[in-house]
Structure 1
């Protein structure tokens, strides 16, 4: 029996349901995949994806980071993920101040407090890991840091979920996506204006006070639209990553109970477990770039002026980079290859240290809350999202 034709469709239901099978075929059969219908390329092997992440001169972010944006040719809103150097460098150095090791560690008590709060309210008989726990707490952390008042923090999460949702076959934004983006943008724009009048000890107030070089090297202030854009981005990235990672973790550990037992026996393995989760079920599946010139990569050439998918989640399961790459092993040798779970190069995740800390604290408390548990696999619901994978519902019963 002949294999079906290899087709990568980033909005197909089959892809949403199980991206890893299509990744395996792409790595083996078409590592520099070209889609004639969509006129885009996709890289799936670790060597190619890592090289492309590093080469920001050839693979531009300035046209956006998803297929619809890159194909449109229109400049997206001002945001750090849509910038190339030198603008990116100036903005990154400014935003990095919010995520220094000291700044991240200063959030530890907040994270512990929120994790304990949501677990204390959970019903062990009917515990939905995402809805009751990993959905609510990360967005509280990042929006507190930004300066969002308490009554709007969970609303931010719902705007993000709606803006990223994709129906099968849907590449471009629909009305619901656009409305969520508008509502979120309007809210943050208003909050920035409030902070101009009444500065506080939060990220938005610090961005208002900051200065960066303009095109002529003169210092300038950020405008309200720029700051609102950054706040929206940070809220999204800060909420989505940990929400999806913790939900997926509970499913993966249920499928590999011997790995959960290792954590129960030795909590010092938690940081290694977080790294393996980022490799094995990292929430970010890909980023899209635009090739501004012909680029020769280890597996072949990508021509100029094309949208290019950098499939980090596929690269992280490439057997050319990792031994037993399809095996989930929290004690694996992590020095073999670069983990691309939170990006790589100049656009690597700004809040990576915060995401790692939040996930580690969540695992620590889940080990206490449910040392033995069962996932209701029939009740699992995956998300259908642009470039993000994970679960919307992970129903669990805690065993006594």
Structure 2
């Protein structure tokens, strides 16, 4: 039987339903994929994706991180993920201070308290892992760090979900996406202005007080738009990653009960399980870059001035990099290749350590809350989102 033509569309219903089947074909049949209609390239093998992530001189982030933005060159706000060096380096060195090992450890009690709070409220007979647990708690952590008042922390999550949602076939932002971005941006801008008048012990206030080198080398303060852009990004990345990772984790463990049993038998395997989940069902599927010049990667040459999908989620399952890459195994050899689940190179996730800690504590408490459980597979609902994969609903029944 002849296979259907290989077509990769980042907004097709088929892609939203199961991106991994598409990735497998792309790795085997077209590792340097070119879409004539969309005039973009896509890299799916680990060697290619890792090389592109590291080569920021050729693969630029300055035009955005999804196809619509890169095509138009219309970046919505000043943000670290839309920067190339040297601007990126200056901003990164400043923001790294918010995510030092000590700063992350200081969040431990908050993370545990929030996890317990939401699980204590949960009904074992009617529990949705995402709606009742992994959706609410991570956004509380990150927005509290930023300085968002309690009354608006969950609203931030709803703005994020609406801004990232894509209808099948939708590449560019629609009115709902735009409105969510406007509402979120206006809220954070107002918060920045208020903190200038009334500084507090939070990240926004520290960014207001900070200085970075300007184009002329003279130290300067960040403006309100720059701080707004970063806090908007922080809320999105800090909420979406753990929300989707924990939701997907409980679906994966339901279909791999032997792996869940390993954690029940030995809690010391939890960090390894987090790494394997990031590899196997990491929420971030891809980043789009723009080639500043003709560039060669292991699978071939890409012309200048083209959008290029760096498919990290595909690379993480590449059997050329990971033995039995399509198999979920928390005991696998993690030294075989670099896990791209939280990025690689200069744009690797700022909050990676926090995301790992939150996910580890979430798994630990879920092992206590639902050592035996069943997923209602008919009730699963996947998200249709730019860059991000996972579930909006993961209903389960806790077994006694």
Aligned twin of 1:273: 273
Superimposed CA distance per residue, residues 248-280 of structure 1 (whole angstroms, 9 cap, x where no aligned partner): 000000000000000000000000000000000
Residue aligned with 2:212, SS: strand
Structure 1 Cα separation of the partners of residues 104 and 131 of structure 2: 25
> Is 2:70 aligned against 1:70?
yes
Superimposed CA distance per residue, residues 62-90 of structure 1 (whole angstroms, 9 cap, x where no aligned partner): 00000000000234421100000000000
Superimposed CA distance per residue, residues 285-311 of structure 1 (whole angstroms, 9 cap, x where no aligned partner): 000000011111111111110000000
Structure 1 Cα separation of the partners of residues 124 and 288 of structure 2: 40
Runs of 4+ in 1 over 3 A off after TM superposition: none
Aligned twin of 1:380: 380
Structure 1 Cα separation of the partners of residues 2 and 259 of structure 2: 37
RMSD (Å) for aligned C-alpha atoms: 0.5
> Is 2:25 aligned against 1:10?
no
> Is 2:304 aligned against 1:301?
no
> Is 2:108 aligned against 1:141?
no
Aligned twin of 1:255: 255
Residue aligned with 2:10, SS: coil
The structure-2 alpha-carbon separation of the partners of 1:75 and 1:119, relative to structure 1 and needing over 3 Å to count, comes to closer
Structure 2 Cα separation of the partners of residues 296 and 309 of structure 1: 15
Structure 2: runs of 5+ lacking an equivalent? none
The structure-2 alpha-carbon separation of the partners of 1:96 and 1:18, relative to structure 1 and needing over 3 Å to count, comes to same
Aligned twin of 2:316: 316
CA contact (8 A) 1:70 1:290 kept: yes
Residue aligned with 1:397, SS: strand
Aligned twin of 1:158: 158
Aligned twin of 1:216: 216
Residue aligned with 2:217, SS: coil
The structure-2 alpha-carbon separation of the partners of 1:76 and 1:187, relative to structure 1 and needing over 3 Å to count, comes to closer
1:148-297 pair list within 5 angstroms = 148-297=148-297
TM-score when normalising by structure 1: 1.00
Structure 1: runs of 5+ lacking an equivalent? none
Structure 1 Cα separation of the partners of residues 334 and 352 of structure 2: 17
CA contact (8 A) 1:131 1:393 kept: yes
Structure 2 Cα separation of the partners of residues 185 and 221 of structure 1: 20
Structure 2 Cα separation of the partners of residues 27 and 325 of structure 1: 12
Equivalent residues, number: 400
CA contact (8 A) 1:76 1:82 kept: no
Structure 1 Cα separation of the partners of residues 232 and 365 of structure 2: 29
Aligned twin of 2:80: 80
